[in-house]
């Protein structure tokens, strides 16, 4: 893991995220959002969490981005003009970033380099999911089922 | 030169702020959802970074939390987009400024 690779991927990610937050066309913003998530997955790869990076690509780009594109196409007739830039939101975002960065740079205990760690294989993750994380796993399964049913109920045609 | 934890935390803070900017300054409901997803991705980056730079644990707690958080984010996105479609059917708009019927 070298600093240069991290910085290059971070610049790419943040530029794509900024484009997603500021572009006027919804479709362009969604594609920039997908690029930003590829960048985040790249950072996960550099951090040694390859499985999380792959899950992020599968779930976000394979499912969430495609879902957003479907929603844009289904609500296409709505072409209302966006109101002029909201400076309050921009000011708050800059203030949050400034505060967080100040706190991070002031904290001495986070200025550490990465220790050597054992590789996180899919086997280890699967064993953890099936032993100590079996209850959270079941809860996530229940949550996903509830979300599926809830989404279906929300978009069902209303009976007259 | 190897990167420190600070670098990842600053990247994550920047991504969170951009997500906050998208969620606060856009008037289109889908943009707001995109902003929320970006903030969740920043939180996941923090989990994995703290796991990588912290003491070793068995099982890898940061990785497990990131995986669960991604699953929950997917459920949230599905319900959120369903809400957008339901609102669009009812009001013929997805601009959150026009959804003011419950406004006091």
DSSP B23-54: HHH--BHHHHHHHHHHHHHHHHHHHHHHHHHS
- Compute the distance between CA of residue A77 and CA of residue B14 in angstroms, rounded to an integer: 34
Per the domain annotation, does B33 fall within a domain? yes
Diameter of chain A by CA atoms? 64
B53 contacts B38 by C-beta, under 8 angstroms:
no
pLDDT the model gives residue B76:
92
Residue A132 Cα, gap to closest chain B Cα (Å):
8
Q: How far apart are the first and last CA of chain B?
A: 57
Per the domain annotation, does B64 fall within a domain? yes
| Residues B23/B24/B25/B30 CA torsion (nearest 10 deg) | 30
Q: What angle do CA B31, B34, B40 make, to 5 degrees?
A: 145
Tell whether the model's pLDDT for residue A10 goes beyond 90: yes
CATH code (residue B48): 1.10.287.3510
Q: What angle do CA A63, A64, A65 make, to 5 degrees?
A: 100
Contact state of A90 with B51 under an 8 Å Cβ cutoff: no
- pLDDT band at B103; cut points 50, 70, 90: low
Q: Which one of B11-15, B50-54, B81-85 scores highest in mean pLDDT?
A: B11-15
Residue B57 contacts A, CB cutoff 8 Å: no
Model-level ipTM above the cut of 0.95: no
Residue A142 contacts B, CB cutoff 8 Å: no
| B23, B60, B90, B94, best to mutate vs chain A, most A CBs in 10 Å | B60
- Domain with B85, as residue range(s), is 5-92
On chain B, the residues whose CB falls within 8 A of the CB of A150 are 79, 82
Q: Work out how many domains chain B is built from and give that number.
A: 1
* Range in A66-75, A106-115, B40-49, B54-63 the model is least confident about: A106-115
C-alpha to C-alpha distances, A28 to A2, A64, B29, nearest whole angstrom: 31, 15, 16
Per the domain annotation, does B97 fall within a domain? no
């Amino acid at each position: 893991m070298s600093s240069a690779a991290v910085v290059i991927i971070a610049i790419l990610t943040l530029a794509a995220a900024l484009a997603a937050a500021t572009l006027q066309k919804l479709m362009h913003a969604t594609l920039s959002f997908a690029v930003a998530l590829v960048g985040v997955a790249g950072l996960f790869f550099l951090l040694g969490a390859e499985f999380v990076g792959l899950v992020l690509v599968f779930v976000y780009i394979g499912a969430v981005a495609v879902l957003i594109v479907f929603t844009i196409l289904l609500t296409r007739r709505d072409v209302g003009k966006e109101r002029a830039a909201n400076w309050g939101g921009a000011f708050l975002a800059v203030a949050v970033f400034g505060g967080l960065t100040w706190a991070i740079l002031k904290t001495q205990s986070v200025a550490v380099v990465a220790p050597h760690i054992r590789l996180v294989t899919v086997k280890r993750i699967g064993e953890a999911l099936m032993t100590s994380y079996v209850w959270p796993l079941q809860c996530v399964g229940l949550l996903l089922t509830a979300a599926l049913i809830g989404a279906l109920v929300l978009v069902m045609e209303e009976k007259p | 030169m190897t990167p420190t934890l600070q670098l990842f935390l600053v990247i994550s803070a920047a991504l969170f702020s951009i997500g906050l900017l998208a969620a606060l300054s856009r008037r289109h409901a889908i943009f707001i959802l995109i902003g929320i997803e970006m903030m969740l991705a920043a939180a996941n980056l923090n989990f994995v970074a703290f796991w990588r730079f912290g003491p070793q644990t068995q099982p890898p707690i940061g990785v497990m939390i990131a995986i669960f958080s991604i699953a929950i984010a997917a459920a949230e996105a599905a319900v959120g987009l369903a809400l957008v479609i339901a609102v669009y059917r009812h009001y013929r708009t997805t601009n959150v400024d026009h959804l003011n019927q419950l406004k006091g």
